[in-house]
């Protein structure tokens, strides 16, 4: 029974943690107290459910216990000293076994996501706050994913939560006029969890990827904001690129997109992503995430059509550069131009990027190397590959680039190198 109660409490925690926390924290903006009370409620569940049986509505039970716990805290002397008394009078007393059904209460997680990515909060805390409040991750697990010392991450989270409480950041969904400006950092924070550039921390454990968590956040956001095309676009983008994850590595070597075995792509995730993209289209407001999702969608279409529509990709990449001219987007555009108009045209686009950072940007050198190889400039391509390899720290990507470079070198050279390296 204890095992069953524990498993049930865990199930409830996974499914309902963010919903319950959002409801609790929305009342006074005190996330820390809400977390403590919810943790107490879960502890209480573990000790009492084995005896009393699992309640018919576990979420409602947890919410009631957490609320009672907060009442107790308010009445305690320490809390009274720190908090105005009238709060206590206003709150009233809740029954331990309530009719309150969290499923009947509006989902406050959307407001919670906007609080986590509020402009008054340090941007480096946005994603960690979402992981903690919506998914219930502890600071140590978040620290591991971001590869910072746990104490530093805990401090960052505590500061942000204090700021939300003290500055009275409201738990509200921004009104229409403010939506674009307020939505952008929410999308960035969720995308940031997906696109996190993992340092070399693999060690003995598998990579602490946050891809699944960011997918959960993105689909939650899209489901709560069905009229925001960029929220749908982000959910589509993460679904579609996650779908290709199983095919990205073979024999410990990185596999580029167009060489991936598409039978290994996840068709359910592709269908999910296509659904989001399909719903975004009629809303008629194109944006960066929809374009990136559309690019992914064209690539994923190879699974059914067997070919890649490079002309469509070229158009989409061009549009992306117009909307979001990041270095990455411009380099990807050069690659797409190279595919459609030939390697020389692609190199021209690449040469037109005069950004200082480009000369240290690994993807720019990888693209240059591929284009030079295709243009028949083997010697220059080898040099570009060498430069790309020197900027690559990921072992799987390095092995791939080294093999491409070796393919350009004469057989004699290769044999010589093998001999030398013994």
Partner 1 sequence: MPTTIHPYGKGHPTMRYALLIHYQQPPVPALTDAELNAGMAAFQAYTKALDDAGVLRSAEVLQTVASATSVSVRQGKLRVQDGPFADTKEAFAGIFMLDVPDLDAAIAWAEKCPAAQWGTVEIRPSAVRFVEGAWAAAA
Identify whether the C-beta of residue 195 lies closer than 8 Å to the C-beta of residue 149.
no
Separation of alpha carbons 383 and 387, rounded Å? 6
Least distance CB 409 / partner 1 (angstroms): 7
Among the candidate windows 42-50, 263-271, 303-311, 412-420, which touches partner 1 by CB under 8 A?
412-420
CA 91 vs CA 32, 94, 134, 135, 175: distances in Å: 19, 9, 25, 27, 28
Least distance CB 331 / partner 1 (angstroms): 16
Helix axis angle for 123-135 and 139-146, nearest 10°, is 130
User: By C-beta, is 348 or 394 nearer to partner 1?
Assistant: 394
Site string for partner 1, 384-403 (x = CB under 8 A): --xx-xxxxxxx--x---x-
Q: Which of helix, strand or coil describes residue 140? A: helix
Of 140, 212, 258, 351, the residue at the interface with partner 1 (CB under 8 A) is 140
User: By C-beta, is 74 or 398 nearer to partner 1?
Assistant: 398
338 burial (CB, 10 Å; 0-12 / 13-18 / 19+) is: buried
Separation of alpha carbons 116 and 52, rounded Å? 37
Of 152, 167, 323, 415, the residue at the interface with partner 1 (CB under 8 A) is 152
Least distance CB 378 / partner 1 (angstroms): 12
User: By C-beta, is 217 or 389 nearer to partner 1?
Assistant: 389
Least distance CB 365 / partner 1 (angstroms): 10
**Lookup: tokens for 222:** 């899209």
Number of residues that bind partner 1 (CB under 8 A): 38
The residues pairing with 254 across neighbouring beta strands, listed in sequence order, are 249
User: By C-beta, is 27 or 141 nearer to partner 1?
Assistant: 141
Q: Say whether residue 407 binds partner 1 (CB under 8 A).
A: no
Least distance CB 201 / partner 1 (angstroms): 5
**Lookup: tokens for 27:** 């009342």
Least distance CB 364 / partner 1 (angstroms): 12
168 burial (CB, 10 Å; 0-12 / 13-18 / 19+) is: exposed
Of 80, 144, 182, 248, the residue at the interface with partner 1 (CB under 8 A) is 144
Identify whether the C-beta of residue 34 lies closer than 8 Å to the C-beta of residue 20.
no
**Lookup: tokens for 185:** 């950092």
Q: Say whether residue 360 binds partner 1 (CB under 8 A).
A: yes
User: By C-beta, is 216 or 365 nearer to partner 1?
Assistant: 365
The residues pairing with 111 across neighbouring beta strands, listed in sequence order, are none
Identify whether the C-beta of residue 244 lies closer than 8 Å to the C-beta of residue 263.
no
Q: Say whether residue 379 binds partner 1 (CB under 8 A).
A: no
Q: Say whether residue 151 binds partner 1 (CB under 8 A).
A: yes
- Binding to partner 1, residues 170-229 (CB under 8 A): 199-205
User: By C-beta, is 284 or 419 nearer to partner 1?
Assistant: 419
CA 195 to chain centre: 6
Q: Say whether residue 161 binds partner 1 (CB under 8 A).
A: no
Separation of alpha carbons 233 and 230, rounded Å? 5
Least distance CB 132 / partner 1 (angstroms): 18
Q: Say whether residue 354 binds partner 1 (CB under 8 A).
A: no
What residue spans of 29-117 are helical by DSSP H? 31-52, 58-75, 77-82, 86-91, 109-116
Q: Say whether residue 382 binds partner 1 (CB under 8 A).
A: yes
Binding site for partner 1 (CB under 8 A): 140, 144, 147-152, 199-205, 359-360, 362, 382, 386-387, 389-395, 398, 402, 405, 409, 413, 416-417, 420-422
């Amino acid at each position: 029974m204890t095992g069953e109660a524990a498993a049930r409490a865990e199930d409830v925690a996974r499914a309902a943690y963010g919903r319950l926390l959002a409801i609790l924290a929305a009342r006074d903006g005190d996330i820390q107290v809400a977390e403590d009370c919810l943790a107490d409620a879960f502890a209480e569940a573990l000790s009492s459910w084995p005896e009393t049986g699992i309640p018919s509505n576990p979420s409602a039970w947890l919410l009631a216990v957490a609320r009672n716990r907060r009442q107790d805290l308010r009445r305690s002397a320490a809390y009274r000293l720190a908090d105005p008394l009238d709060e206590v009078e206003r709150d009233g007393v809740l029954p331990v076994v309530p009719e309150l059904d969290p499923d009947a209460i509006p989902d406050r997680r959307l407001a919670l996501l906007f609080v986590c990515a509020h402009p008054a909060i340090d941007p480096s805390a946005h994603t960690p706050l979402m992981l903690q409040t919506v998914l219930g991750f502890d600071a140590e697990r978040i620290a591991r994913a971001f590869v910072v010392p746990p104490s530093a991450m805990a401090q960052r989270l505590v500061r942000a939560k204090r700021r939300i409480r003290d500055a009275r950041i409201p738990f509200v969904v921004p009104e229409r006029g403010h939506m674009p400006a307020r939505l952008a950092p929410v999308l960035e924070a969720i995308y940031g969890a997906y696109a996190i550039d993992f340092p070399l921390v693999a060690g003995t454990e598998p990579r602490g990827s946050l891809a699944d968590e960011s997918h959960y956040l993105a689909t939650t956001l899209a489901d709560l904001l069905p009229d925001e095309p960029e929220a749908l676009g982000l959910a589509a983008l993460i679904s579609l690129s996650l779908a290709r994850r199983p095919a990205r590595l073979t024999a410990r070597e990185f596999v580029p997109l167009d060489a991936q075995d598409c039978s290994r792509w996840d068709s359910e995730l592709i269908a999910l992503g296509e659904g989001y993209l399909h719903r975004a289209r009629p809303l008629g407001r194109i944006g960066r995430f929809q374009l990136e999702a559309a690019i992914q969608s064209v690539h994923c279409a190879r699974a059914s059509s067997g070919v890649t529509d490079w002309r469509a990709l070229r158009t989409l990449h061009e549009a992306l550069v117009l909307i979001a001219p990041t270095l990455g987007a411009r380099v990807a555009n050069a690659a797409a131009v190279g595919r459609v108009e030939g390697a020389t045209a692609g190199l021209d686009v690449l040469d037109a990027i005069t950004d200082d950072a480009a000369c240290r940007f690994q993807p720019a050198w990888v693209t240059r190397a591929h284009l030079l190889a295709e243009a028949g400039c083997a010697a220059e391509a080898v040099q570009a590959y060498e430069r790309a390899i020197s900027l690559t720290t990921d072992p799987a990507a390095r092995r791939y680039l080294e093999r491409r470079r070796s393919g350009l070198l004469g057989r004699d050279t290769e044999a010589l190198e093998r001999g030398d390296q013994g």
